[in-house]
Homo-oligomer: A and B are copies of this chain.
Amino acid sequence: MRISELSRRSGVSIPTIKYYLRDGLLPPGHATAANQADYNEDHLRRLRLIRSLIGVRGLSVSATKDVLAAVDEQQGDMHLLLGLVLGALPVERSGRPPRRDGAEEPAGAGAAAGDAAEDVAALTAEMGWKTSPNPPAAQVVTETLETLRALGMDYDWRSLLPYAHLADRAARLDLDQLEGAGDPLQQAERAILLTVLLEPALLALRRLAQEHHSAQRFSNG
């Protein structure tokens, strides 16, 4: 197909496609004339993957290159591929912007750090989760426990355990949806889309359920 059709089918503008071609993110098409090239379905799929990494998830061009190189190298090893793709995606902290109010870190946050890390180790052990050493996601859980404690809440890994069981079931659902997804490029795309794009929706579903159950429990009317 011509670049115009590639643009139409991917939803990516022609200047952006040309930028990806110049930058090596997208391999060149098959030249059919001095200033014209032909693109195939692989180009379209790769372009959709780039789009989901850069346009939807906000990865940098260089992080996107690393993920695409990993996809190219790890054909067939789905676990390595998933690890590379998920590992390259930054984990949201709390969507919080840099502190604007000039406040220091809560008193005691530093001292509690070691304890919180041990808590997360206890939680993953209890769940039987085997992960890579020090995954970024574990750091996020550690930080959350530290923050809750620094704000005076009595919260430890046992408080998180029921949520960890729900997360375990969510992850099984996620992986069910990757089975039979086709070639590694398609699997990588599905893994990214289902992991990253679903995240805000999962939080939004919790908010909707909170509103409903809050009305059930607390409404005076």
Chain A positions 47-82 with a Cβ under 8 Å from a chain B Cβ: 48, 51-52, 54-58, 77-79, 82
Chain B neighbourhood of A180, CB < 8 A = none
Residue of B nearest to A99 (CB): B55
Interface string of A13-31 (1 = CB under 8 A from B): 1011001000000000000
Chosen A-B contacts, 18 in total, with CB atoms closer than 8 Å, are A11-B105, A16-B103, A48-B151, A78-B218, A92-B203, A124-B208, A127-B209, A137-B204, A137-B211, A140-B201, A141-B201, A141-B208, A163-B201, A167-B208, A175-B210, A175-B213, A175-B214, A195-B207
A residues adjacent to B (C-beta < 8 A): 8-9, 11-13, 15-16, 19, 48, 51-52, 54-58, 77-79, 82-83, 86, 91-97, 99-107, 109, 124, 127-132, 135, 137-138, 140-141, 144-145, 147-148, 150-153, 159-160, 162-164, 166-175, 177, 189-190, 193, 195-215, 217-220
